[in-house]
C-alpha cells in the first residue's frame, strides 16, 4: 500500500474530504481529529494493519507522517 493510499484510508477513517491530508499535516490543525476520530483510528489500525495502538502512541502522534510511520512498521 502506498503512502497516498494510506492517507486516503486515514481521510476515510476521519471522515474528511479526499486530498485534505498530507504527510506534513499537523493533527492539531485537523478539526476532525477528536476523541471519536482517535477511537476510529484505533479500530482501523487494528483491522487493516494488525497494530494495537496505545494511548501513549496516540498522544505521540503530531503529524499524519507519524501515523504513516506506524503503518509502515506493520
- Hey, what domains does the chain have and what are their CATH numbers? 3-73 (1.10.1200.10)
Average pLDDT on 32-60 reads: 96
Helix axes 3-13, 64-73, angle to 10 degrees: 120
Contact between 28 and 48 (Cβ < 8 Å): no
Whole-prediction pTM value?
Answer: 0.94
Structure confidence at residue 74 (pLDDT): 82
Give the pLDDT band (50/70/90) at residue 29. very high
CB within 8 A of 25, min separation 6: which ones? 63, 64
Amino acid at each position: 500500500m502506498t503512502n497516498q493510499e494510506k492517507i486516503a484510508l486515514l481521510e476515510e477513517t476521519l471522515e474528511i474530504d479526499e486530498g485534505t491530508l498530507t504527510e506534513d499535516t499537523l493533527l492539531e490543525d485537523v478539526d476532525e481529529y477528536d476523541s471519536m476520530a482517535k477511537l476510529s483510528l484505533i479500530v482501523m489500525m487494528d483491522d487493516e494493519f494488525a497494530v494495537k495502538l496505545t494511548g501513549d502512541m496516540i498522544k505521540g502522534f503530531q503529524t499524519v507522517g507519524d501515523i504513516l510511520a506506524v503503518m509502515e512498521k506493520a
